[in-house]
Amino acid sequence: MEQQVQEREAEELTLVTRKSCFGLPTACPHSLPVFIYLKLAQIPFRLDFNSIYPDSDQIPYVESGTYVAYNNENDGVIECLKNDGIVDLDSDFHSLPDWVSTKAMISSWLSDAIMYELWVGSDGKSAYEIYYSDLSWPIGKALFLKQVYLVKQRLGITKDNAEQRENKIYKRAKFAYGALSTRLGEQKFLFDDRPSSLDATFLGHALITLYALPESSVLRSRLLEYDNIVRYAETLKLELIESGSSSSGPHFHSVPSSSAPRKGPSSWKSKPKSKSKREKTEEEKTFKKRAKYFLAAQLVAVLLFLSVMGGYDSGDVELDEDDEGFAYD
């Protein structure tokens, strides 16, 4: 095991995320925390972007040689990196009294809040830009509507309780911001003034809220009430993202992923680079055909989904109020 870890450390990591937008290296709520975590850990890595499979729950993922850590495995990429001995920023924090409750607020209440705001609470333009703007309009719009439906299901939102659920989501987010503001104080990081995975997760949330959500966003206005959180986000953004190309800090590049994931899509698209025209290889021709087939299949699947769900009564989705999450007195 130790030898495998050493071999992984010798090979540079590649982080595959959704595309860069809104002045952020990626505005995907799952991808940005992983990017920040690697930067906080000062682990060199290359950055690659996926714009072909926007609804894949494997993204983000990290690879190095034969090692791959997916978003949909073992509680996410960061947990995989910790459990597999790649990098663990949290080893000294687990025994702290506020660690568990702080993690619960960030991973539950704030995760629900940003999901709600992107897909339901706002005009949806930010979510569309992050996930579907590289697709043709009919497919992108259909996939967007499908995701809105799934998010409402996940959050237990129906026609009858929509206003009640919205108020509860915003109330929990405001409570979480207040608690995190108090914990942060004037420190640079949340715990013992040292970086942790909670900083990566919360900073990702804060940056997306501040930079990707519209000015009319209720969640954004709630966050702006806490000056120290805004300073925390802007300071670390400058240090980790805007100064990322300096020689003194960890570096990243936008290049194609070196290997295919163990399962799922086998080809990934990186940021375009200006190149002279050349004859396409057979592999590239095959890839282009597969991409077209994928998009066609997605369109058919979405149209079937919408036709089947057309008669669905959203009032059938019910929420057990006793199982809504964590309670903080």
CATH architecture of 14-242: Up-down Bundle (1.20)
List pLDDT tens digits, range 133-165: 999 999 999 999 999 999 999 999 999 999 999
Residues 6 or more apart in contact with residue 211 via CB below 8 angstroms: 22, 23, 24, 27
List pLDDT tens digits, range 235-244: 999 999 998 5
pTM for this entry? 0.75
Residue 56 has pLDDT above 50, yes or no: yes
Task: State the pLDDT at residue 324.
Answer: 44
Q: How far is the C-alpha of 161 from the C-alpha of 165, rounded, in Å?
A: 6
The radius of gyration of the chain from alpha carbons, rounded to an integer in Å, stands at: 21
Task: State the pLDDT at residue 207.
Answer: 98
Asked if residue 212 lies in contact with residue 126, where contact means CB atoms within 8 angstroms, the answer is yes
Residue 169 token pair: 């989501």
* Residue 62 DSSP class: E
Asked if residue 263 lies in contact with residue 63, where contact means CB atoms within 8 angstroms, the answer is no
Which of 125, 102, 105 has the alpha carbon at shortest distance from 113? 105
Residue whose token pair is 């949330």: 205
List pLDDT tens digits, range 171-218: 999 999 999 999 999 999 999 889 999 999 999 999 999 999 999 999
Element (H, E) at 233: helix 227-237
Task: State the pLDDT at residue 296.
Answer: 57
Residue 281 token pair: 């290889």
Residue 303 has pLDDT above 50, yes or no: yes
Cα angle vertex 211, ends 135, 12, to 5°?
70
Task: State the pLDDT at residue 52.
Answer: 82
What order of strands is seen across the sheet that includes strand 13-18? 45-50, 13-18, 61-64, 67-70
Task: State the pLDDT at residue 50.
Answer: 87
Delimit the domains of the chain by residue range: 14-242
State the pLDDT confidence band at 282, using cuts at 50, 70 and 90.
low
State the pLDDT confidence band at 269, using cuts at 50, 70 and 90.
very low
Residue 281 has pLDDT above 80, yes or no: no
**What secondary structure does DSSP assign to 260-273, as a single string?**
--SSS---------
Q: How far is the C-alpha of 39 from the C-alpha of 75, rounded, in Å?
A: 20
Asked if residue 159 lies in contact with residue 315, where contact means CB atoms within 8 angstroms, the answer is yes
State the pLDDT confidence band at 51, using cuts at 50, 70 and 90.
confident
Task: State the pLDDT at residue 12.
Answer: 85
Please list, residue by residue across 57-95, b when 16 or more beta carbons sit within 10 angstroms of its beta carbon and e when fewer do. ebbbbbbbeebbbbbeeeebbbebbbebebbbbbeebee
* Residue 108 DSSP class: I
**What secondary structure does DSSP assign to 169-231, as a single string?**
HHHHHHHHHHHHHHHHTT-SSSBTTB--HHHHHHHHHHHHHHHTS-TT-HHHHHHTT-HHHHH
